[in-house]
Amino acid sequence: MTDEHVFFDGTRVSMKKYRSARGFRIIVHADSSVSLTLPAAVPYRQGKLFLERQREWIFQRMSEARSRFGNRLLARGTHEDLARYENQARALIRERLDYFCPLYGVSWKKLSIRDQKTRWGSCSRQGNMSFNYRVVFLPEHLVDYIVVHELCHRIEFNHSKRFWALVARVIPEYAACRIELRHM
């Protein structure tokens, strides 16, 4: 995984390459940042060309995110919101689970994407993972924190010091992420 940041019409875009990526994927986050996932073998210049071709779509999504959620991402959505963003959220979470599971030596059984009013994610003792569809509007570092948090519950099903030490192995700035999520 490598990163490159570019500015696209004044908007910061984080481009990341993943060996497991099969195609291009754009995510517009609530803070108006944009992420582009590329297959590892694709040059960044092709990513920039792809962004240019998707210009109108990107700005439309930025506008939708601001008008729908403003500063309250956990405000109750509609069934249409869930239907619209569920597949994108599922793909994003699956990609991050595939990345982080080997780091912890854990697995998961079932993935659910829901419209949750007070939670970003949860994990059952059986290994079933559930995530809020609104993760698609979060910056990457917060999505990673949420996924890692839930994966660590596969090892420690509590919020003990051991649990937070597990989270800190991959997300050392987890405390700042927690604070940031409380203000969403």
Taking only the tens place, the pLDDT of each residue in 93-116 is 999 999 999 999 999 999 999 988
What would the mean pLDDT of 76-82 be, rounded to a whole number? 66
Q: Which two tokens stand for residue 64?
A: 């939708």
Q: Quick one: pLDDT band at residue 74, thresholds 50, 70, 90?
A: very low
Q: Are residues 162 and 91 in the same domain?
A: yes
The predicted structure's pLDDT at residue 11: 72
Scored b (16 or more CB within 10 A) or e, 55-88 reads: eeebeebbeebeebbeeebbeebeeebbeebbeb
Q: Are residues 144 and 93 in the same domain?
A: yes
Map tokens 């403003």 to a residue.
70
Q: Are residues 53 and 133 in the same domain?
A: no
What would the mean pLDDT of 75-86 be, rounded to a whole number? 70
- Give the global pTM: 0.62
Nearest to 24 by CA among 56, 55, 46: 46
Q: Are residues 92 and 137 in the same domain?
A: yes
Q: Mean pLDDT across the chain, nearest whole number?
A: 86
Residue 95, domain member (yes or no): yes
Instruction: Give the span between the Cα atoms of 116 and 92, in whole angstroms.
Output: 17
Q: pLDDT: is 24 or 33 the higher one?
A: 24
Q: Which two tokens stand for residue 47?
A: 């990513």
Q: What's the domain count of the chain?
A: 2
Q: Are residues 18 and 107 in the same domain?
A: no
Q: Are residues 174 and 142 in the same domain?
A: yes
Domain containing residue 122: 79-182
